[in-house]
Structure 1
Amino acid sequence: MTDIQVKSMEQNGLNLHLGATDKFKTISMMLMINAPLQEETVTARALIPHILQGGTKHYPNRKKLKQKLEDMYGATLTSDVQKKGENQVITFRLDVAAEQFLSDNSTSLFEEALSLLHELLYQPVLEKNAFLSQIVDQEKRALKQRIASIYDDKMRYANVRMTEEMFKNESYRLAPYGREKDLESLTPQTLYEAYETMMEQDRFDLYMIGSFEEDVIKEKVREVFTASRKLSGEMIPTKASEHVKNVNVVHDAQKVKQGKLHLGYRTHSTFRDDDYEAARVGNALFGGFPSSKLFMNVREKESLAYYAASQIESHKGVLMVLSGIEFDKYERAVEIIQEQEQAMKNGDFTDEEVEQAKGMLLNQAFEAMDAPRGIVELSYHEIIANHKKSIQERIENIKKVTKEDVVRAVNKWELDTIYFLKGQGDEA
């Protein structure tokens, strides 16, 4: 299951990562472009990948670009923007069929795809040394709609609000898709300037996962990505969280039919720490799976919540409890969630439950390894943390976790923020 070894090297300031495997009949290229989350740049950088897909020098609009992909045996091109720790990561993904599986392999499909990815980055369609205003306006409208859709999804909205409150004075409060209030001030010229800064200063990691000969791929990348970039310095790991002095309680009121109760904890365990895997097992037991304490006690036994779960973040050291409750169940729901937290800290779980949680986490890892995206996501943790810990190492570490390890890890958790989205006029 973990036989794919991702080999890393540097070429012209580009960090190249190769995972050769016959497991897939495609070659997946994923370019991760990384910069610190910053108020001044977060919205511009969220727009850039969508603007770049609006057209290139040889394929000046979306229609022509789409036609080119179809001509390449139905290649697919996607992009997204994520937050990883206190980093904003733009991802371009281009998937093409591996040539040995095509009936006509007289053309180098991989080279064509690599050249297209390069053109997308280095030769966007421009007017007067700026992006096309038509494309910019279209993408600003689309981003505004995406941000509005988060407001309509109350669970996501509550998570955004809690993150803003919990990390008020830290860059982690920023959402990777940016802020609506920035959109008006962004012009084709200022966005092009942000793009130029990105191309000059951001860290570029290009992953290749699929069926190929490593030496051939390295040579093709060297031929296509000829521009010598300044190699980014060492990644600065996300700053460790300070200890919590007072629990922050925030209530918002809107016209909602169901309350959203979210609790935010500082775990003080990140990817770089020895107890990282133990903290993940702890989260699995606490609220990560349907067999967890939150699900069984808050939702099933007490019928206090429509849903109750927790999720852990690898680089900032955050655990979020998410639940949907009736407005008048607020006090009891907070109480029982904290009872489950204390039960975890007291070791109120069995060795068998620990083994079951470990098994579920291992299954998750093995499932991720069955897709190119999953392999890249697992591997990229090392880049974000600037800490070598291979996928195989992490799997072995999970296998070694004991009940005592979990108790030690969860006793570092500190409740930081309680956020409740309630109905208007509700007194809770």
Structure 2
Amino acid sequence: MKITKETVHNKQGYRLHILPTTKYKTVSIVAKFKAPLKREGITERALLPHVLHKATNKLPNVRKLQSALEDLYGTGFSSDGSKKGENHVISFRMEVVNESYLNESEPILEKALNIFHDVLFDPKVVDGGFDETIVNREKQTLEQKITSIKDDKMSYANLRLIDHMCEGEPYSLHVHGYLDDLQKITAKSLYEYYQSMIKNDELDVYVIGEVNDTEMDALADQTFARGDSDNRSGHQDSKSITPTEAKEIVEREEVKQGKLHIGYRTHTNFGDDDYFALQIFNGLFGGFPSSKLFMNVREKHSLAYYAASRFESHKGLLLVFSGVDPKDYDQAKSIILEQMEAMKQGDFTPEQVEDGKEQVVNQLQETMDNANGLIEVLYHQMLSGTEIPAHELMENIRKVTKEDVVKVAEKIELDTIYFLTSQEGGEA
């Protein structure tokens, strides 16, 4: 992984991370605004990125903004919101053509960054608020997104699992917000929240591509500097919860296929010494096509339409997803729980561990071959207070032993079993 070491500059109201590299034909710029997860403001945060990149004072409608980006050799721009542990992050991403590939000497990057600045800091404002037409249209889109989650039963079951499992914890908050709160948002109230976010959120800016560090430093200041911010929004650490007793919950909806989702507490987060062992554990347990869940629940017993697991690296959760026939609920649940016990007992071979390590390394390399993937890895590191060069990440994965995987498995505790079904039966 030949990428020049990341340089980090603490600037006026933001942190600048620059990775000069000739690996990519484009320059990627990502701005990440972070604040602690709170019910108050979560719906505004879900709505804001979509309102912001629809119009600026200089480019007052979607058509003009898109046209300006297209004129810069199809510069790409996108935004979204996500949960990272107990924090909420709004990301704005821009991808600009590398000027060295062009025959002209037009300052494409500088012009693109001027648009980036205006999207963030000079959005279209009408009578002390955002453009009401834009806000109402984006509210409608967000409302459809929130209501459509219930139609995707796998996503809905996962949402309900987290609702029950993390009740009372910030992580239980819905990343797309809440319909009740959405109805109350106006163009002016959203603009007020935006002003607070711009002033108080912690801002990190990542630049990856063929750039000159000194020139990029100056351009970034023109684009992202915030004079009235100390760039300290506060960081909400995820508390390690120890379940007193596992919960078993059955809910009924009109579903063709039962959704059996199970939540565990891993007590291992990104940045912990045993995080690398957890990556291998998850692969062997439910992350790979050859995993225990897939082979035993789906292939051997034909009990599930799908069976897999993933983990949340900043919250210490391991989540199991499976789609089962309601009549097979008890048997499928037993076999899933048995696979966890088998992992704790070391019921897997050193050869499977070696194969798992290579698969994890390949996945990581694939992620880091993409500029946005690399930025996500670096941002994860910054959030957890660790800084590990790419080659060391690979080395740490390759050092994992079978004993390490068993040790990390032994820490994992069952928290919640959730079953979404349309039939009677499968009672807790």
* TM-score scaled by length of structure 1: 0.97
Deviation of the 1:3 alpha carbon: 3.1
**Corresponding letter in the other structure for 2:121:** Y
Deviation of the 1:304 alpha carbon: 0.7
Confirm whether residue 215 of structure 1 aligns to residue 236 of structure 2. Answer: no
Determine the structure 2 residue equivalent to 1:386: 385
Determine the structure 1 residue equivalent to 2:345: 346
Determine the structure 1 residue equivalent to 2:18: 18
Determine the structure 2 residue equivalent to 1:293: 292
Q: What is the correspondence of 1:87-102 to structure 2 with a 5 Å cutoff?
A: 87-102=87-102
Determine the structure 2 residue equivalent to 1:166: 165
CA contact (8 A) 1:378 1:391 kept: no
For residues 74-128 of structure 1, what are the alpha-carbon distances to aligned partners after superposition, in whole Å with 9 as ceiling and x for unaligned?
A: 1111111111111111111111101000122x21101011111011111111111
**Corresponding letter in the other structure for 2:47:** L
**Number of residue pairs matched?**
427
Query: Unaligned stretches of 5+ in structure 1?
Result: none
Determine the structure 1 residue equivalent to 2:354: 355
Distance in 1, Cα, partners of 2:24 & 2:426: 56
Three-state SS of the structure 2 residue aligned to 1:365 is helix
Determine the structure 1 residue equivalent to 2:38: 38
Q: CA RMSD in A?
A: 1.4
Q: Per the alignment, do residues 109 and 56 of structure 1 end up closer, same or farther by CA in structure 2, a change over 3 Å counting?
A: same
Which has the larger displacement, 399-408 or 216-225? 216-225
Three-state SS of the structure 2 residue aligned to 1:152 is coil
Distance in 1, Cα, partners of 2:2 & 2:194: 37
CA contact (8 A) 1:167 1:173 kept: yes
Distance in 1, Cα, partners of 2:247 & 2:426: 18
Q: What is the correspondence of 1:119-198 to structure 2 with a 5 Å cutoff?
A: 119-198=118-197
Deviation of the 1:425 alpha carbon: 4.1
Determine the structure 2 residue equivalent to 1:323: 322
Three-state SS of the structure 1 residue aligned to 2:150 is helix
For residues 266-286 of structure 1, what are the alpha-carbon distances to aligned partners after superposition, in whole Å with 9 as ceiling and x for unaligned?
A: 000001311111111111110
Q: Per the alignment, do residues 241 and 154 of structure 1 end up closer, same or farther by CA in structure 2, a change over 3 Å counting?
A: same
Deviation of the 1:226 alpha carbon: 4.3
Distance in 2, Cα, partners of 1:229 & 1:388: 29
Q: What is the correspondence of 1:406-421 to structure 2 with a 5 Å cutoff?
A: 406-421=405-420
CA contact (8 A) 1:382 1:390 kept: no
CA contact (8 A) 2:35 2:234 kept: no
For residues 381-408 of structure 1, what are the alpha-carbon distances to aligned partners after superposition, in whole Å with 9 as ceiling and x for unaligned?
A: 0222233334433222111110001100
For residues 29-64 of structure 1, what are the alpha-carbon distances to aligned partners after superposition, in whole Å with 9 as ceiling and x for unaligned?
A: 111111111100100011111111121011001010
Deviation of the 1:213 alpha carbon: 1.4
Query: Unaligned stretches of 5+ in structure 2?
Result: none
CA contact (8 A) 1:251 1:422 kept: yes
Distance in 2, Cα, partners of 1:45 & 1:391: 32
CA contact (8 A) 1:379 1:391 kept: no
CA contact (8 A) 1:235 1:384 kept: no
Q: Per the alignment, do residues 257 and 426 of structure 1 end up closer, same or farther by CA in structure 2, a change over 3 Å counting?
A: farther
**Corresponding letter in the other structure for 1:103:** N
Distance in 1, Cα, partners of 2:233 & 2:186: 32
Deviation of the 1:161 alpha carbon: 0.6
CA contact (8 A) 2:13 2:225 kept: no
Confirm whether residue 79 of structure 1 aligns to residue 93 of structure 2. Answer: no
For residues 222-281 of structure 1, what are the alpha-carbon distances to aligned partners after superposition, in whole Å with 9 as ceiling and x for unaligned?
A: 234344242333853522222111111111111111000000000000013111111111
Distance in 2, Cα, partners of 1:242 & 1:227: 37
* TM-score scaled by length of structure 2: 0.97
Three-state SS of the structure 2 residue aligned to 1:80 is strand
Three-state SS of the structure 2 residue aligned to 1:404 is helix
Q: Per the alignment, do residues 186 and 408 of structure 1 end up closer, same or farther by CA in structure 2, a change over 3 Å counting?
A: same
Determine the structure 2 residue equivalent to 1:337: 336
Determine the structure 2 residue equivalent to 1:47: 47
Determine the structure 1 residue equivalent to 2:231: 232
Three-state SS of the structure 2 residue aligned to 1:250 is strand
**Corresponding letter in the other structure for 2:94:** L
Distance in 1, Cα, partners of 2:58 & 2:128: 17
**Corresponding letter in the other structure for 2:190:** L
Distance in 2, Cα, partners of 1:35 & 1:221: 22
Distance in 2, Cα, partners of 1:180 & 1:356: 46
Distance in 2, Cα, partners of 1:395 & 1:175: 33
Distance in 2, Cα, partners of 1:407 & 1:200: 46
Distance in 1, Cα, partners of 2:62 & 2:312: 35
Three-state SS of the structure 1 residue aligned to 2:411 is coil
Determine the structure 1 residue equivalent to 2:404: 405
Q: Per the alignment, do residues 234 and 122 of structure 1 end up closer, same or farther by CA in structure 2, a change over 3 Å counting?
A: closer
Three-state SS of the structure 2 residue aligned to 1:151 is coil
For residues 188-211 of structure 1, what are the alpha-carbon distances to aligned partners after superposition, in whole Å with 9 as ceiling and x for unaligned?
A: 111111101101100111111111
For residues 122-171 of structure 1, what are the alpha-carbon distances to aligned partners after superposition, in whole Å with 9 as ceiling and x for unaligned?
A: 11111111111111111110001111221111101100010011000100
Confirm whether residue 109 of structure 1 aligns to residue 108 of structure 2. Answer: yes
**Corresponding letter in the other structure for 2:114:** S
Three-state SS of the structure 2 residue aligned to 1:411 is helix
